[in-house]
Amino acid sequence: MFKRRRAVGGLLTLAAAVGVAAGAPASGDTPLGHTAGMVRATGENTVLGVADATGHPRLRELLHRLTTVDGGPGALVEVRDRTGSAVLTSGVADVRSGAPVRRDSRFRIGSMTKPFVATVMLQLVGEHRVVLDAPVERYLPGVVRGHGNDGRDITVRQLLQHTSGVPDILEHLSPAEILRDPLAHHDARELVNIALAHPPTFEPGTGWRYSNTGYLLAGMIIEKVAGHPYGDEIRRRIIRPLGLRETYVPGDDPVIPGPHPQGYVRPGEDAPLMDLTAVNPSVAGASGEMISSGTDLNRFLDALVRGELLRPAQLREMTRTRPTGNPDGRAYGLGLESRPLPCGGLYWGHTGDMLGYETAGGATVDGRQATVMVNLDPGGSDAQSDDIKAAVRVALCESRPSVSR
């Protein structure tokens, strides 16, 4: 949800004021060295030391880069195919203690929440409870109004595909405001109203621009149609059926359950890290509040692209993409994006930014998945996001676990 370049500017204005109050380590508390490890799943997991982890050399090189050159405290990648899975880690989960990143870490997944939300919406479409090309007004009468924004002209499909023109809440919500009270509750309707106090970025359907506001509205539609909060529907329709034991829709709870790395931001180029592990995720809501793990995200993406969660007609709608203008060939469907692979073909997935964590994940239709996490966002180098996405590509192209179950 929170993009690095914009967020750092807002954070910098608060760096001096927040400092220790936000949980920042003292200036001497820098990462205490870097460790790397690998776990292979062979029924019961066995931890292998670096000397034994001879596979995945390019992937290990990228992880090391993320925690040295790019400045992330710690990093994790989990790669899985039909024969097994591997988890590689680098750096530290906690810069004070120097504890390594655990292979079973949970973390905030930011905008990787969007595929979950879109899946629930498309399930409702398959149940004939939502119509993709119906106006938002049908489900949220009077909500999208003002300054040129009109829910009568915007469809559900356009919300999910970022073609609605609805202004992005992140263009009008300062990270500095969040840091003043990181545990404060944020109501989805209030966040939407902040965004709608500004004109649309284009006429609905005439362009593409990422908008977190569209997914706040999508969460509100799910609640209106299903009669339950969108998080309840995600738990009922996705988390429980797939047995995702490390995935949560936390609401107002600032705690990350289970083992997890601390989440850090760097408010300025030479500023010390600030610990923002505890934050009320309602500020992201349906656009990015969820918590998960590499294991669960890989399981979810695999089930999604293989048709376990959606009927064929709805999966076709989700994977009908449009170009985004990104030079890497990124194209966006409904809550799911595709990117080409250097080894041929493409993968389906998403990226995610949430205060303290940056993630990316992807899956191929032939059964390969990879998820990457760094516990720094915003404030990493400009290369951090590029190297995270590169790690996903390398994992999917070159990382084939050699063990069998």
* Positive/negative CA dihedral, 40, 259, 271, 1: positive
Residue 105 annotated among the catalytic residues of the structure:
no
Catalytically annotated residue among 90, 105, 111, 381 = 111
Q: How far apart (Å, rounded) are the C-alpha atoms in residues 154 and 139?
A: 11
Closest Cα to residue 318, out of 308, 328, 326?
308
- Catalytically active residues are 111
